[in-house]
Amino acid sequence: MLDLQRLLISILLFLGTISFGFWVRARGRPYHPLLFNIHKLIALAGVIFLGLQVRLLILGSGLSEQVELPVFLVAGSLVLLFATGALMSIRDEESKTIVFIHWVGTIIICLCLGWVLFL
């Protein structure tokens, strides 16, 4: 199963991403470049770190059937978050639909993390 310490690092990176996301949002548009870049870099580090952990899990003992669906949902949500984040950064006007989809992706990841921790 997942090493608890490694999972904790992934969760802390995720919480850091969310924290900086709130901070960026609170500063308003145009987004503060330093805060926005820190938000993106923490998110990228978290995705890479979690991806490496899942890869080690797959190569080691394999994913249990109970964990396959949350891992798939997290992967899809991460793609969604990167796509909507890119759209929010390049558009002059903020689309409420894109912001809503960005929030939904974050909520899906939170629910899946809870699901995996429960298992």
Q: Read off the pLDDT of residues 13-61 as tens digits, 9 standing for 90 and up.
A: 989 999 998 998 888 878 888 998 999 999 999 888 888 877 777 777 6
The letter for the amino acid at 102 is: H
Angle between helices 33-60 and 65-90 (to 10 degrees): 160
Write out the residue range of the structural domain in which residue 110 sits: 4-118
* Residue 1 pLDDT grade (very low, low, confident, very high; cuts 50, 70, 90): very low
Domains: count for the chain: 1
Which of 2-11, 56-65, 76-85 shows the lowest mean pLDDT across its residues?
Answer: 56-65
pTM metric for this prediction: 0.77
Question: Residue 62: its pLDDT value, please?
Answer: 64
